Structure 1
């Protein structure tokens, strides 16, 4: 093995070993021509070296020469070092940052906001790689290959180690060298059939590792899917997004990094507590609809729009009717009057009171709750698992004493939970806006 302070090609002075194996060495070195630090990767030509190792090393050098991205270490040089032992060498930019694997090992924990930020940063790198002609597939995204630079209060992510890179998608019937890390690489990659969605799976598995601090290989599985939602208190939409990123079936996984980024950004926006009175280009009175949201909770308040004067006039009419009955004497007609009074009061309440019903809807990381209130007093409550909500849509339902009105439906398996004003109902625009906010927040 080479030693520290040795100089290669009269230019690269080795300083410190960053990593090594039977056939590979990675050194931190100094470029004597400009005094900058660089990374020198060496492939040792010994009896353990396989032909595919040389192929991958040459492919890495070839691909890195073509890449130009601020978050990918820049290619500088490659050469063959001949002597008693032959080395294939690759020189590239040195990024003075720790890998996420090192940070996890040191006890660093990542918040949901940080995990989301890393997801967005890596997806943007993958969009660049996958849109090259031909597409470049990394094939080994994992915590040790992501560097996090926290200097200058900026969390910058770098994607490194292109030793498993594939510079085109396999043609029909063809396969490539099987590479990848167990737990992070999807099944199709172990079959030599990597696609852009394979990198998405590896990124999703890496993010789950960050969220749980548990290696994906050690997580419980059901139907080949990682079971992790019970270990984190993340926004349900983000959990669903991670689940789709790590779908074992390619058909149900995001197909492109652009698609995955768009879905994540939609959910990201849905968690921001932005206030607006302009919904679908129509101005609404803010008192009609209140929506408050964050990563942890979505709260929707639907007040009544009925006028309190309706109760005043109704109560006054009933009072006059009572006075009439009380002053009419004790004849039989009085009892008939009382009967009509009770019947009229019941009908009036049936037609009037539903218009004063208000709804509070709470959805957090685990559960949802719908509360029904009349004059501030709760008279009904429904609860369920937020992660089990499959759909949120609007539907027409029977209004009391009126034509059909719109309500919002939450579908949980065969059960449906509805809310909305019982009498006058929500407008179509209000209903669509509420349903859209729920879907985006839940990621459905």
Structure 2
């Protein structure tokens, strides 16, 4: 009996010892796994925090791209805009208001303050920096510098005296610039000059080594200087493209009424032919003073601007659709007809049927005006 009990106790002790060893091994494995997971998590957190794009959101930085101005602090910009007073607002660009400001050196500039909570506001800022900062062309608004302070991001832009083309065509009551007394109406010759300027600006953008697609050509994104020369502005949706990729974004971009029909078919990338279409719509708008995003009535039916224009042109009524406030002296019916023919080419439904902007410039230069 004693021997049997001893054997049982020995066996039980062996099993207990084995169980303890196994439990110890399991604990060690769990501890090692948790420690490694903690190290990986800590390493991942460090990498995330050190992401330069995220950390740069809160940095204080300013830069100048023009020799006429030095780096400007956010404090100077607040003083120059009277703490971004609504009285100094001269425009509402994508993702931010635009203010008129006088810097300490006496120069007048436009200040664009990006909305801190704007959708993709930081991407908008980066896009503006990568495009406007290096562009120099007579029909492109120059970016003179920028300032970042905390979550505030501000662009310093060339001030273009007469304001937006949209105001000159549609808003006869606006008086936020010194030229308001002779603001309206624009002559046919002036409208042709403006359209040519926009076309030349787009040729420049599309012809860069890495082409730039604006993606939001419209009347409010065209500014006019004292000589009524056009300057393309607001590159919030601009995209660079290379020869291997037709676009860098699959998101629909642009303004209702100016967007090409291929967007409805799911072709949403940035292409030069999309800019050509928007430019064609702008040509119709400049000549007719009708807004592309508002319906027109014809034959007791509502229709968009482009459908209305096409129907009127098909009936040889091109002179009837011109802005009724525009002077008619010396106006050539043949030239008006050719103008609308060029605009119609730009707004072809099929993308490949539209001309390049360089071809459009050649056609516009043949107009006698």
TM bracket, shorter-chain basis: 0.5 to 0.7
Contact 1:79 1:89 in 2 (8 A): yes
Instruction: Quote the offset at 1:175 in angstroms.
Output: 3.6
Instruction: Quote the offset at 1:205 in angstroms.
Output: 0.9
Note the 1:296-307 alignment, pairs <5 A: none
User: Partners in 1 of 2:217 and 2:306 — Cα distance?
Assistant: 23
More strand by share: 1
Corresponding residue for residue 73 of structure 1: 141
SS in 2 for 1:235: helix
Q: TM-score, normalised by structure 1?
A: 0.51
Q: Does 1:43 align with 2:117?
A: no
Q: TM-score, normalised by structure 2?
A: 0.61
Q: Which has the higher contact order (CA 8 A, sep 6+)?
A: 2
| Aligned residue pairs, count | 252
User: Partners in 2 of 1:123 and 1:160 — Cα distance?
Assistant: 13
User: Partners in 1 of 2:188 and 2:351 — Cα distance?
Assistant: 26
- Two-structure CA RMSD over aligned residues (Å): 2.9
The alpha-carbon distance between structure 1 residues 173 and 72, as it changes in their structure 2 partners (threshold 3 A), is closer
* 1:176-198 Cα distance to aligned partner (Å, 9 max, x none): 43221111121335742221122
Instruction: Quote the offset at 1:224 in angstroms.
Output: 6.3
Corresponding residue for residue 330 of structure 2: none
User: Partners in 2 of 1:142 and 1:244 — Cα distance?
Assistant: 18
Corresponding residue for residue 171 of structure 1: 245
Contact 1:110 1:210 in 2 (8 A): no
Which of 104, 125, 128 matches 1:60?
128
User: Partners in 2 of 1:100 and 1:172 — Cα distance?
Assistant: 30
Which of 181, 186, 198 matches 1:122?
198
Contact 1:101 1:143 in 2 (8 A): yes
The alpha-carbon distance between structure 1 residues 56 and 188, as it changes in their structure 2 partners (threshold 3 A), is farther
Which of 93, 100, 107 matches 2:165?
100
User: Partners in 1 of 2:112 and 2:145 — Cα distance?
Assistant: 11
User: Partners in 1 of 2:94 and 2:272 — Cα distance?
Assistant: 30
User: Partners in 2 of 1:157 and 1:258 — Cα distance?
Assistant: 17
* 1:273-292 Cα distance to aligned partner (Å, 9 max, x none): xxxxxxxxxxxxxxxxxxxx
Corresponding residue for residue 137 of structure 1: 213
Corresponding residue for residue 24 of structure 1: 96
User: Partners in 2 of 1:201 and 1:225 — Cα distance?
Assistant: 16
The alpha-carbon distance between structure 1 residues 194 and 226, as it changes in their structure 2 partners (threshold 3 A), is farther
Corresponding residue for residue 257 of structure 1: 357
Instruction: Quote the offset at 1:26 in angstroms.
Output: 1.9
The alpha-carbon distance between structure 1 residues 104 and 165, as it changes in their structure 2 partners (threshold 3 A), is same
User: Partners in 2 of 1:223 and 1:69 — Cα distance?
Assistant: 30
SS in 2 for 1:216: coil
Contact 1:216 1:226 in 2 (8 A): no
Structure 1 moving runs of 4+ over 4 Å: 20-23, 221-226
Q: Does 1:9 align with 2:74?
A: yes
* 1:322-355 Cα distance to aligned partner (Å, 9 max, x none): xxxxxxxxxxxxxxxxxxxxxxxxxxxxxxxxxx
For structure 1, list consecutive stretches of 5 or more residues without a partner in the other structure.
Answer: 1-6, 273-294, 296-444
SS in 1 for 2:252: coil
For structure 2, list consecutive stretches of 5 or more residues without a partner in the other structure.
Answer: 1-71, 83-87, 173-183, 297-302, 323-332
* 1:89-120 Cα distance to aligned partner (Å, 9 max, x none): 21121111221111123443444433322222
SS in 1 for 2:112: strand
More helix by share: 2
User: Partners in 2 of 1:222 and 1:77 — Cα distance?
Assistant: 38
Corresponding residue for residue 261 of structure 2: 187
